[in-house]
């Protein structure tokens, strides 16, 4: 598969850069309707801006895409996110029935896909997307390093 042909991870990275500019943890997410290639959502973390610990980029993108489609199920949709999703976001991805998950940097501390609880491998997980990790992971990791450098 040619992940970057449509540039969806690049758009997620742009959203992460905008989050960084707002002094949010620089994570960006994009949701695309797979069959049509239509962009349904593009956003970055907004936990500080909204005073909402659930305002992760993935959660906001899922809400926006669901509203755009008029459905709680995103079965034909693909999620591009710059950082390995946490357990909360992995659960939302499963509940939304997202078709494919593409992510950039792994998250050894808070991730729940290849690290931590490995949410999609649990017997209680009702739906697991196809998973593709490490896409533009170096660029995503550098944005995170820059954020934490500024914090120190």
The catalytic site residues sit at: 58
Residues 98 and 45: their CA atoms lie apart, in Å, by 19
- CA 117, 73, 97: angle at the middle one, nearest 5? 30
Helix H or strand E encompassing 67: helix 57-69
CB 72 within 8 A of CB 79: no
Q: How far is 22 from 103, CA to CA, in rounded Å? A: 22
Only one residue has tokens 């501390």, namely 109
* d(C-alpha 76, C-alpha 66), whole Å: 12
Contacts for 115 with CB less than 8 Å, ≥ 6 apart = 84, 106, 107, 108, 109
């Amino acid at each position: 598969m040619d992940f970057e042909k449509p540039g969806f991870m690049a758009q997620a990275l742009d959203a992460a850069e905008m989050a960084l500019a707002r002094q949010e943890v620089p994570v960006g997410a994009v949701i695309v309707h797979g069959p049509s290639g239509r962009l349904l959502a593009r956003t970055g973390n907004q936990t500080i801006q909204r005073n909402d610990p659930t305002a992760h980029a993935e959660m906001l993108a899922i809400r926006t895409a669901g509203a755009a489609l008029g459905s709680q199920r995103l079965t034909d949709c693909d999620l591009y996110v710059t950082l390995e999703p946490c357990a909360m976001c992995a659960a939302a991805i499963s509940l939304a029935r997202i078709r494919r998950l593409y992510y950039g940097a792994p998250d050894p501390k808070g991730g729940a896909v290849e690290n931590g609880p490995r949410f999609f491998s649990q017997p209680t997980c009702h739906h697991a997307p196809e998973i593709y990790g490490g896409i533009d992971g170096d660029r995503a990791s550098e944005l995170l390093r820059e954020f934490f450098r500024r914090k120190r």
